[in-house]
Copies of this chain bind each other. A is one copy, B any other.
Amino acid sequence: MFHKRNPPIGSRPGTLAIPEGSPPPRIRLLQYDASTHRDEAIEDLERLPERLAFEGVTWINVVGLGDEPTLRRLAEIFEIAPLALEDAVNAPQRAKSELFDAHQLVIARVPMQEGEALSVPQVCFFIGARYLLTFQERPFGFFDPVRERIQAGLGPMRRSGPDYLAYALIDTLVDRYYPIAEKLAHELEDLEEEILESAEADTLNRIHRVRRDLVILRRVGWPQRETVASLVRGESSFLSAPVRGYLRDTDDHIAQIMEVVDSSREMAVGLAEMYISDLSHRTNEIMKMLTLMASIFIPLTFVAGVYGMNFEFMPELGHRLAYPTVLAAMFGMAAAMLVYFRRRGWLGGGRRKRKP
Contact = CB atoms under 8 A, between A and B. Distances in A.
A339 interface: no
Interface string A314-329: 1011111111001100
A70 interface: no
Given A83-B249, A171-B13, A310-B307, A181 B261 contact: yes
A259 B290 contact: no
Number of copies: 5
A10 B175 contact: yes
Contacts of A305: 300-301, 304-305, 308
B174 A250 contact: yes
A60 to B, nearest CB: 15
A277 to B, nearest CB: 5
Contact of A299 (B9, B281, B297): B297
A175 B231 CA distance: 17
B291 A185 contact: no
Contact of A308 (B274, B309, B319): B309
A292 to B, nearest CB: 9
Given A210-B187, A260-B185, A177 B217 contact: yes
10 contacts: A1-B188, A2-B264, A196-B274, A200-B282, A283-B283, A284-B286, A301-B305, A308-B309, A309-B326, A311-B322
B191 A210 contact: yes
Interface string A171-201: 1101111111110111111111011101111
Contacts of A191: 203, 206-207, 210, 271
Nearest to A1: B185
Nearest to A161: B240
Contact of A243 (B164, B215, B295): B164
A34 interface: no
Interface stretch (A38-46, A72-80, A91-99): A91-99
A341 to B, nearest CB: 9
Nearest to A265: B266
A214 B277 CA distance: 20
Contacts of A198: 278, 352
Nearest to A107: B227
Nearest to A295: B293
A68 interface: no
A120 interface: yes
A201 B83 contact: no
Contacts of A336: none
B317 A212 contact: no
A355 B200 CA distance: 17
A28 interface: no
